[in-house]
């Protein structure tokens, strides 16, 4: 898609992020897709490629309350959600919120901690609330988690449970910059870090309005059938132990609505589905051991499935 087709508000946010990030526009776009669709993002990559900077730039651009959780092996669930502490003066328990009580949450190196602590994020990501000592605390809106994880081949990592992976709308990688981009990174590092001078482009009220508008983006029945056909075929594909769930179908539709809105359209195209499918579905697929042994990846399988599903050619009528 060309930049000139971009929604002007979205383009302003992306330009703002590019003041900090060099050569990562596609990652910034996909991060915005998840934020606007009220989903969450899992960034998997090696340390030092700018994952944390991306989240901070996004939070500053939309004037959001930013919180960072550094996941470590000894982190407890209460360190994430908060805890009730007895106040002897008031003679009652008082809730002290944890870092999860923010708008944009960076869950850094999420697979460095135990599955018990990882699961502390589940209710918040799915229900936008946390329950502590039988009391449910609503989270602020917008609520957006961008989790980073090191490749599972690294020492000291715990694989994320399938139930938690399914809560992420998108999973993507940042990758290393090319030579020219890395030189620009060095040039910027010589001066005051750009993130310190980054100003908001919109406020939270405007962001909430965008999230509401996206739900009105039209999805034709032929597009819905196209989505379901793709997801269904992941379930019976050779080498796949467990395919994408109906939550994957919903996630793909919501992501496509946000992507169409970003490009100033009020309807979803098959091209949107084809582009987003690997980011939305790959982490929802569990491969058989023989497929892993042969070096087949979930991304490859999703791309093969998309290539085999007939593209809707019926004219979209709203």
Alpha helices in the chain (DSSP H): 8-18, 25-36, 51-61, 77-81, 115-118, 120-127, 162-165, 179-189, 204-214, 221-235, 246-262, 270-281, 289-293, 298-308
Per-residue pLDDT of the chain (318 residues; tens, 9 = 90+): 556 678 899 999 999 998 888 778 899 999 999 999 999 999 887 777 777 888 889 999 999 999 999 888 888 888 888 887 877 877 777 778 888 888 999 988 888 888 778 777 877 888 888 877 777 888 888 999 998 887 655 556 677 777 778 889 999 988 787 888 788 878 877 776 677 778 899 999 999 999 999 999 999 999 999 999 999 999 888 888 888 889 999 999 999 999 999 999 999 999 999 999 999 999 999 888 888 888 888 899 999 999 999 998 755 544
**In this structure, how many other beta carbons lie within 10 angstroms of the beta carbon of residue 208?**
13
Which SS3 state, helix, strand or coil, does residue 124 take?
Answer: helix
This model's pTM is above 0.85: yes
- Rounded distance, CA 247 to CA 291, Å? 24
Domains of the chain in sequence order? 3-209 (3.40.50.300), 215-308 (1.10.8.80)
Q: For residues 210 and 287, give the distance between their C-alpha atoms in angstroms, rounded to a whole number.
A: 37
Q: Which two tokens stand for residue 161?
A: 């449970």
First-residue to last-residue Cα distance in the chain: 23
> Using CA atoms, how far apart are residues 197 and 81, in angstroms rounded to an integer?
31
Q: Which residue has the tokens 């799915």?
A: 126
């Amino acid at each position: 898609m060309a930049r000139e087709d971009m929604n002007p508000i979205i383009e302003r946010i992306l330009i703002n992020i590019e003041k900090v990030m060099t050569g990562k526009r596609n990652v910034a776009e996909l991060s915005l897709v998840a934020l606007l669709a009220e989903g969450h993002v899992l960034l998997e990559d090696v340390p030092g490629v700018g994952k944390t900077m991306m989240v901070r730039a996004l939070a500053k651009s939309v004037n959001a309350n930013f919180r960072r959780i550094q996941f470590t092996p000894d982190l407890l669930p209460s360190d994430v959600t908060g805890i009730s502490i007895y106040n002897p003066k008031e003679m009652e328990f008082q809730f002290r919120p944890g870092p999860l009580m923010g708008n944009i949450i960076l869950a850094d190196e999420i697979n460095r901690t135990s599955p018990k602590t990882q699961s502390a994020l589940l209710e918040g990501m799915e229900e936008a609330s946390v329950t502590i000592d039988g009391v449910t605390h609503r989270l602020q809106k917008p609520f957006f988690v961008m989790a980073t994880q090191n490749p599972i081949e690294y020492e000291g990592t715990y694989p994320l449970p399938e139930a938690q992976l399914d809560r992420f709308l998108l999973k993507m990688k940042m990758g290393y910059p090319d030579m020219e981009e890395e030189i620009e990174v060095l040039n910027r590092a010589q001066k005051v870090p750009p993130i310190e001078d980054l100003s908001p482009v919109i406020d939270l009220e405007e962001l909430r309005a965008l999230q509401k508008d996206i739900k009105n983006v039209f999805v034709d029945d032929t597009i819905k059938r196209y989505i379901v056909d793709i997801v269904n075929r992941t379930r019976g594909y050779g080498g796949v132990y467990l395919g994408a769930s109906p939550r994957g179908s919903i996630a793909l539709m919501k992501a496509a609505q946000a992507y169409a809105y970003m490009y100033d359209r009020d309807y979803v195209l098959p091209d949107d589905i084809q582009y987003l499918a690997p980011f939305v579905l790959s982490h929802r697929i569990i491969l058989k051991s023989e497929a892993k042994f042969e070096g087949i990846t979930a991304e490859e399988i999703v791309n093969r499935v998309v290539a085999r599903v007939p593209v809707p050619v019926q004219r979209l009528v709203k």
